[in-house]
Every structure is written in structure tokens, then in C-alpha cells.
Amino acid sequence: MSASPQAEFGALAAAEGRAAVVTIVGGEGAAVGLKLLVREDGSRSGGLGAAGLEEVAAQLASELMWAERSELHEHQGVQLFVDVTAPAPRLVIFGAVDYAMALCRLARAAGWRPFVCDPRSQFATPERFPEAEAVIAAWPQEALQRVGIDRATYVAVLTHDPKLDDAALGIALRSDAAYVGAMGSRKAQERRRERLLANGFHEGELERLAAPIGLDLGATGPEETALSVMAEVVAVRNGRAGGRLRDKQGGRIHDEDRAQPAEPAASRESA
């Protein structure tokens, strides 16, 4: 007997997988309690009793599992609760430099999964980056093939070598990565931009490049620079601009859907 949608969702959550379960929670005449599970690859199990409603629910589930947000929605009088589970976000760092060491430590402390990539094997070692999920001593194309890039991947290029920079950015900017940032002065950024344009990139593709990387904190040194970079990627992940909270006009200070689980953990594991 196959597991129920809720039981499978609980198992995926325990395994740090990505999925969403949609439950009918209200609406006149609605079949309250029916569930539809949507997995990362788009496959489904369970059902909501109506093909049209299931298509709407599957689309919501797909969007929210990548936004990593649980929400209540209404469709034609039927209330749908979309509960999402997702693994910790990934930060792929190019350049096994001192700044990468600090960024790796801070990313891990913030609950992210940092990966460090650099073809220079004398620098790209697990001993130098004990907090990294993996240290990959390979050129960007091979490294990114091994890591994989999806819509929950954030890329930070910290090297100052055009051979590495351009190769990494050339792949990341045309990937599904949620964020691509690169370190360097404004003059270095302009030279990099000119090289990328000469290599066939267009202005629209370069618009998504966050360069110089990080928020304007006045950071100095590796640790403060790492804080600046993490502040930016967290803001991007949460759809925020990264300004000061005291200057925020209206709206909630914190996203309640991220601040706490949508349902108690026990309910996720129940059948």
C-alpha cells in the first residue's frame, strides 16, 4: 500500500527534500481534507477531486516550493493550504580565498549549505574549509556540473582572475541560479562587463549580476565582507531590498511564513 500524500510529505521533509502538499481546508461544499502532493520533479500523488482544481493547486505548489513559502490561497471559493518543505539553500562560492573562508563559516552559521570551488587544488582543500558541504577542486564547468544549479542556488564569485571569473559567470548567468554575485572594484566590474559582452552576453543577462557583491555596510576585511554578502543573499531569498528596518514603510517586519513552520512537525508525519 502506497503512503498517503501527508505521510510521504513528512518523509520528504525528514530527508530534506523539496515538495509541497496542498490541502482543501475550507469552502462551501468543498471536500475538506483532500490532499495533493507535488514533488520537485512535478510528479503528483493524491488528489483534490476535480481536475481543474488540481491543476491550479499543482501550479501553486510548484511556485511556492521554490519560493520556499507556505501559504493559504482561495480558488473559486475553495480554500487551499499549500505546505512546503525544502532543503537548506545552497551558496556556491568560486575562489578558495580568505574571503571565501569567512563566507563559508557565516553561511554555515546561518543555516545555508556552502560549496567551495576552485581549480587550484593547493587552496581548495577540506582542511581550509571545514564548514563547507563540499570542496571541489575543478574548473567552473566541471564544478557546476558536479554541484548542479537550480532555482534555490546562489552563486558568489570571489576570485580576481578573469579566467576563473568569466568561466564561472558565463555558466551561472545562463543558469537557473536565484542569485549571481561577483567581487571586485567598479573598474574591475566594468572590465568584466566588457569581456562578457564581447563573449556574446547581452545587457539583459548582465542585469542579473550583483556586482560589486554585497550590501553597502562599509565592510572591511574578510569577516565583515562575508556579512555584507550574506546579508544580500538573504535579502534576495526573502524578496527584500536589504534596507534598514527603521526606514521600512508599512508591511510586516518579518515574514511570518518563514519565521515558523506552517504546521506542527507532528502533523507532517501523520498519515
User: Quick one: what percent of the chain has pLDDT higher than 70?
Assistant: 90
Determine the CATH number of domain 90-237.
3.40.50.720
254 or 108, higher pLDDT = 108
**Which residue spans of the chain are classified as CATH 3.40.50.720?**
90-237
Average pLDDT, the chain: 89
Residue 29: band (very low, low, confident or very high) from pLDDT cuts 50, 70, 90? confident
Alpha helices, DSSP H, located in the chain: 5-14, 51-67, 98-109, 140-147, 162-172, 186-198, 203-206, 221-237, 256-259, 265-269
pLDDT of residue 253: 55
pLDDT of residue 250: 63
Residue 189: band (very low, low, confident or very high) from pLDDT cuts 50, 70, 90? confident
- DSSP codes, 71-135: EEEEETTEEEEEEEE-PPPEEEEE--SHHHHHHHHHHHHTT-EEEEE-S-TTT--TTT-TT-SEE
Are 133 and 113 in contact by the 8 Å Cβ rule? The answer is: yes
Residue 263: band (very low, low, confident or very high) from pLDDT cuts 50, 70, 90? very low
Provide φ and ψ at 157, rounded to 5°: -100, 115
Express each pLDDT in 207-259 by its tens digit.
999 999 999 999 999 999 999 999 999 999 988 888 877 777 666 655 554 43
Taking 60 as the threshold, does the pLDDT of residue 267 lie above it?
no
Q: pTM higher than 0.85, yes or no?
A: no
